[in-house]
Structure 1
Amino acid sequence: MSAAAPCWLPTGTVYGTLLNFRRKWTLWTPKMSEAPYKAPPKAPVLYVKTANTFAPDGAAVAVPGEVELGATIGLVIGGGIDEDAGRGPRVRGCVLLNDLSLPHASYYRPAIRYRNRDGFLVCGAACVPMPLADVADLVLELRVNGELVQRVDCATLVRDAATLLADVGEFQTLQPGDVLMLGTDCLLDGARPRARAGDRVEISTPGFAPLVHTLVEETP
């Protein structure tokens, strides 16, 4: 019997992107003129998911209570320059991700203690080669215990994959092995889908093996 292929995990830094879906942007627009910022962000708003958060497909993630689910696509950075994408870094492929977080109010300054708990970035089994232009055609389906709770349409990104990559490149250099997440969408009421210990979570889209994992109760 042949050994199972190892599950994919990031080898570099993983960056998340805030406010990159039109629904979320529209809901937050009235707050963007308030203090302390008093204007919409002009550049992508990023945060980092640290290495302790990386969990493989099939993981049982320990949670202290309800968690927010974040079905998204990660762009896996390769080596060299992509001449067809505005001389941005070449993308090796895309991966399904679930960017977990404890519920919290502020999206302007994501707190590490909410987003960067152990196992809070569950990764799809493989990085799938894909032209950046095709990412907009992806629709992610998020299910909890078999029930469809969200559809994430990548055609509704504020910055599509190529634009996000180029705009981030204006202020930082992405290295081979880094991952740039496209962002997470919200539900109609502005909330993110939630789950708790005992739940089974699945994220799927054509062309990718489904990302499946469970949530278990955190032990003291």
Structure 2
Amino acid sequence: MRYLSFEAEGKASYGIAADRGVHDLGARIGSVLPDLKSYLKALELGLVSSVATNAFADYATGDIAYLPTITVPGKIICVGLNYEGHRLETGRPKQTYPTLFARFADTLIGHGGAIRRPSVSEALDFEGELAVVIGRSGFRIPKEEASSFIAGYSCFNDASLRDFQNHTHQFMPGKNFPATGAFGPELVTPDEVGALDTLKIETRLNGDVVQQAKLEELLFSVEDLIAYVSIFTALSPGDVLVTGTPGGVGFKRTPPLYMKPGDVVEVEIDKVGQLRNEIAEELPKG
């Protein structure tokens, strides 16, 4: 199953990818379950059933605008330095535990939206990543049970303002500018994706491959991350774990390779999808 959040005819909704378009769940049950996060919670509680994969389309794909896969996650927990190639290029030491930081929900955009470069910095870097969406509530989840807590997977671009990220050893400022967290296009359920290990993740900037790895190269696996994160915070349906980026980031190149207005960046993960965004200047306030 492939779920998505979208806007059509001026209204935000959610649904499933159907033949040649989108089956609108929000139009049918949105008064009770207003978004995909609430739908995942209802699935956990057995209050709704999965929709048949041959459901008819209410909208053609070209008639919708994609929203972030989960529009308002309760938690977005990101992982740093989770591929050996990226750890080595940053010169950071090996870690016994995952390096974690938080991203805010109001920084998210969907597939096809514009990643905005703020006026205060030109050091806007790409970070293609696998996002994991939680489907069941859990606290202190054993690693061997962690996979049963996954609702599905999506693509993520954790676009980062490197100068702000490196003001101190805390990453948070560089990771939370408006419209820098691209998330989508769809939430793909584990039965469609299968085993992650052999799947390739690739980031392209203006058509050129800038990052590439296999998901088996994650230093801390998805199950490791769910088990570790749930030690200190309860996880809920719709929470998002962003699992880290491979080597090849722009700020470690000579000269640095940063994204600029007019560029197009794509993150593609086998069986999960392709996330595409253009780069634009931030919108004026007022």
TM-score (norm 1): 0.82
Task: Kindly provide the CA deviation profile for residues 63-116 of structure 1, in whole angstroms up to 9, marking residues without a partner as x.
Answer: 0324111100111001156x995233610011100001111337841032x110
Deviation by residue 1:133-175 (Cα, 9 ceiling, x = unmatched) = 7222221121111122221321211111112221222232222
Q: Give the conservation status (yes or no) of the 8 Å contact 1:198–1:217.
A: no
Aligned partners of 1:96 and 1:203 also within 8 Å: yes
Determine which structure has more spread, i.e. the larger CA radius of gyration.
2
The answer to whether the Cα contact below 8 Å between 2:131 and 2:153 also exists between their aligned partners in 1 is: yes
Say if 2:238 is the partner of 1:174.
no
Q: Does 1:118 align with 2:178?
A: yes
Give the structure 2 partner of residue 87 of structure 1: 145
Q: Which runs of 5+ in 1 are unaligned?
A: 33-39
Matched, 1:96 2:158: no
Q: How does 1:122-201 map to 2 (within 5 A)?
A: 122-130=182-190, 134-187=195-248, 191=252, 194-201=258-265
SS of the residue corresponding to residue 195 of structure 2 reads: helix
Runs (4 or more) in structure 1 with deviation over 4 Å come to: none
Flag the 1:190–1:22 CA change in 2: closer, same or farther, 3 A: farther
The answer to whether residue 261 in structure 2 is matched with residue 202 in structure 1 is no
* Unpaired stretches in structure 2, ≥5 consecutive residues: 1-56
Match of 2:126 among 69, 72, 79: 69
Flag the structure with more relative contact order, 1 or 2, with Cα contacts below 8 A and sequence separation at least 6: 1
Aligned residues: 210
User: Contact between 1:99 and 1:121, CA under 8 Å: does it hold in 2?
Assistant: yes
Name which of structure 1's ranges 131-140 and 191-200 shifts more when overlaid on structure 2.
Answer: 131-140
Q: Give the aligned partner of residue 85 of structure 2.
A: 23
Q: Could you tell me the TM-score, scaled by structure 2's length? A: 0.65
Distance change in 2, residues 1:52/1:99 (3 Å):
same
SS in 2 for 1:184: coil
Mapping for residues 37-56 of structure 1, pairs under 5 Å: 41-56=95-110
SS of equivalent to 1:195: coil
Query: Partner of 1:61: helix, strand, or coil?
Result: strand
